Structure 1
Amino acid sequence: MRVLCLHGKGTSGTIFRSQTSSFRAHLSDEDIEFDWVDGPYPTGPAAGIDVFYGPPYFSFCDGNSLEAIRASYTWLSEYIAKNGPYDAALMFSQGCWLGSSALLLHQDETPDLPPPFKAAIFVCGGPSLFVLEELGFHVSAKALERDDDSRRALESQADSSAIQRQGADRWTGLSSLGAGVSVEELQKEITCPFRISIPTVHVYGSKDPRYASGVHLSGICDPEKRRDFDHGGGHEIPRTDFVSRTIAESIRWAIAQGTAKG
């Protein structure tokens, strides 16, 4: 089995490999080849990442526009054509944004062709709202507000100074916007003309400022083919035994579901 691995913005394939080592240790009995690709655009470090990892750092997108997203999709499509096929994709943060955009654009534009990968594991990431609106999804004003506020909150809570002052306590999520809002209510903030149809796993943390974005991504995927797991932390992959085993089991499930019909 081959798994394409898409890292977060301002990190790298090597960093992503380190970040996932704890749960991948529980997959050692599986015949899985992980492809740790670097994004095509050199960039500065993600907030706080330089406290733990040195350069180089990369991004999958040059800018924040629909045109830039489509350029990233073209790059990913060419990479998969050259280096694939892949049974699944494992993604974190910006990687989720790219992978979900690729699936949505493919499903809208070339639905008769096989998808870029057969199963998807999304960790601490959400969809591109630019792509959703382009494809006819209705994104509510509240979802747009949460997206803007959460990006600013992530920069603040992930910053190196916050790490040094507060450690894990820096993760406070978006309590002012998310208090009392259920997963079901968040998922209803985006109306779907269609949904991502392959098996998906959604791993997000209730203390992550981008929590709502992860829930929004879950909501645009087929509810009969998805699994959700709240790891309880921030914008990170906790290394506790329970979290690691749960993510590993979810990956086994996704790959098995995705490859069941070939």
Structure 2
Amino acid sequence: MKILCLHGYGTGPDILRIQLSGLMRDADPSWEFHFLSGEVECPPAPGIGSTFPPPYYCWARSFDAGEIDAAHALIEEAIDEHGPFDGVLGFSQGAAISISFLLEHKTAYPDEPLPFRFAIFYSPTIPCAADEAYCQSVFGSLSSADQQRLRSGQDEKIAQLPDPVRSVTESFVKVIKGTRSITREPVSFFLDRPVDLVPCVLHPDVVPTRITLPSVHLRGKEDMPGLDDCGLLVESLCDPRTLKSIKHSFGHDIPRSGPEIKQILSAVEWVVAQSQLSIH
């Protein structure tokens, strides 16, 4: 059993290895965890800079289509060089990148099997599109006045935008505000740009594709503002028939000991067993 693991924003593979130490300690010893690193340097996540030396990495800093596409390319390279993998596991931005990768892969190649057989998403942030055609379909018909409303980053002006731009942008802004302690950037950093460089959320109201892989969704009861809604959005992008959702007592982190790690391991064993029942 081989699992590709993607870290969160402002950390790196070594930090994710520590975050997953409880799961790795108790998991079947035959399971192999392969850790992939983002290539975009960024500030450390809260509490990381005082404990771990730089550099710190993320998968994307501005979240535009070009950056997301480059992150997807890293996953493709890892599959080619170190795969095949049975599953993919992502934490925070790593979860968001794996979600967008799976959705867009299935959209682009609907008749081909996905390169993973199961997925584990810890505390996902918002998944954004690498597909410029999708971004164009959402933002491309905006009037000049609506483009100014979008670029303002102001809630009352975003509320005046036509759907689906309004719902897509409101979902994005809620998460960006909640996670500013991680990105260190205001809403204007992401929205006050040419429209083709504005991040475009893969929103269930707009994306018809669903991730059909068995999936486990884990998030903390004390997670950052906006991430609970984000977790529900991500769940709605997945097949509810092969989905297990768990809330733990932590914040934006991964439990490493106690009864909750047993619950998480049980969920991971469930998703592995589900993946072996059929080919997706």
Q: TM-score range by the shorter chain?
A: 0.7 to 0.9
The 3 A distance-change label for structure 1 pair 144 and 208 is farther
| 1:87/1:259 contact within 8 Å kept | no
Instruction: Look up the SS of the partner of 2:113 in the other structure.
Output: coil
Q: Structure 1 regions of 5+ residues with no counterpart?
A: 160-188
Instruction: Determine if the alignment matches structure 1 residue 204 to structure 2 residue 219.
Output: yes
Q: Which has the higher helix share?
A: 1
Question: Aligned partners of 1:235, 1:247: CA distance in 2, in Å?
Answer: 15
Is the 1:24–1:248 Cα contact (8 Å) retained in structure 2? no
- Following superposition, which runs of at least 4 residues in structure 1 exceed 6 angstroms of deviation? 135-138
Corresponding letter in the other structure for 1:259: Q
Aligned partner of 1:2 in structure 2 is 2
Q: Percent identity?
A: 31
Aligned equivalent of 1:241 = 258
Which of 151, 158, 175 pairs up with 2:176?
A: 151
> Quick one: distance in 2 between partners of 1:92 and 1:113?
26
Q: Specify the code of the residue in structure 2 equivalent to 1:252.
A: E
Name structure 2 gaps, 5 residues minimum: 139-162, 184-202
| TM-score normalised per structure 1 | 0.78
1:11, 1:45 within 8 Å by CA — same for their partners in 2? yes
- Show the counterpart of 1:13: 13
For 1:112-145, what per-residue CA distance to the aligned partner results, in whole angstroms no more than 9, with x for missing partners?
A: 2221211000000144244699287986745643
**Contact 2:220/2:248, CA 8 A, preserved across alignment:** yes
Normalised TM-score (structure 2): 0.74
Match of 2:64 in 1: 65
Native 8 Å contact 1:5 1:37 kept in 2: yes
Amino acid at match of 2:99: S
Partner amino acid for 1:87? D
**C-alpha RMSD of matched pairs (Å):** 2.6
Give the direction of change, closer, same or farther, for the CA distance of 1:69–1:129 in structure 2 (3 Å limit). Answer: closer
**Count of matched residue positions in the alignment of Structure 1 and Structure 2:** 231
Q: Return the offset for 1:254.
A: 1.1
1:84 aligns to 2:83 (yes or no): yes
> CA offsets per residue over residues 175-203 of structure 1, 9 Å max, x none?
xxxxxxxxxxxxxx842522111000000
Which of 240, 245, 249 is residue 228 of structure 1 equivalent to? Answer: 245
Match of 2:143 in 1: none
Larger Rg: 2
